[in-house]
Copies of this chain bind each other. A is one copy, B any other.
Amino acid sequence: MLSKNKIKYIRALELKKNRREEQAFVAEGHKLVGDLLGYFPCKLLLATSHWLDANPTVAADEIIEVTQDELTRASLQKTPQEVLAVFSQPVYDLNPEVLKNSLCLALDDVQDPGNLGTIIRLADWFGIEHIFCSAGTADVYNPKTVQATMGALARVKVHYCSLPQLIRELDGIPVYGTFLNGNTIYSEPLSAHGLIVMGNEGKGVSPEVEKLVNKKLYIPNYPQERITSESLNVAIATAVVCAEFRRRLSV
């Protein structure tokens, strides 16, 4: 039996201020919850008897068997699945030495939660373990972001910080970014380690961060003389850039 208070608690986590206050976030669906269990402490898990029968060893502070109807009332999704879990937000330690020897992403006010989730998922694919987000970037624990990560959130660590301050602290690392006046990425030397900055959907990289980018890149359109869109979606551009960094290491 699911109490009204529990439903209220879960639905309140749709808002960032409540997620921050509770240091918690919601994930839904068999695949996603399965991927996150074991990585994040689970505070509360709602599941149908069917799901619980299939997952008898699941560990959570509290487990409540619910009907599909109860799940629908608690769910933040349009089409609730068999399981919903409330996880604790992780706290990550940062070691600057590790960062200096890694390829990392920095997101400068990427505002769409879906774009952020998609970027986390592709970062996982390309072995990028740390993403640094400006304060104006979407919240990683927004349900849309969590769902779009498809479980990659378990492996990719997302940090919120001042990007100019971060870049100054990582003094000396190569800082890449995509700009319409950058050099074609295919003819630029790319290092195995460094920071790749991606900007806001409409405005691109902020002037303050742009000053700290020392390698400006451009994804060439094809053929170059053809009239085309003004830009690529930020998640798409991130993917093409990350793929090219990794291709260089594999050929």
Contact = CB atoms under 8 A, between A and B. Distances in A.
Contacts of A101: none
A90 interface: no
Contact of A251 (B127, B186, B229, B232): B186
A8 B236 CA distance: 36
Interface string A130-158: 00000000000000000010111001000
Chain A, interface size category, equals 35 or more
Given A118-B233, A243-B243, A222 B126 contact: yes
A247 B218 CA distance: 13
A222 to B, nearest CB: 4
Contacts of A239: 232, 236, 239-240
Contacts of A219: 125, 243
Most buried by B among A118, A148, A243: A243
Interface string A40-75: 000000000000000000000000000000000000
Contacts of A150: 229-230, 233
A122 B236 contact: yes
Interface in A198-223: 219-223
A218 to B, nearest CB: 12
A235 interface: yes
A228 B127 contact: yes
B125 A229 contact: yes
Contacts of A187: 251
Contacts of A236: 118, 121-122, 235-236, 239
A243 B220 CA distance: 9
A236 B241 CA distance: 11
6 contacts: A114-B114, A127-B226, A152-B228, A219-B243, A222-B246, A233-B235
Closest 9 CB pairs of A and B: A222-B246, A127-B222, A236-B239, A240-B243, A124-B229, A152-B229, A125-B221, A126-B222, A239-B239
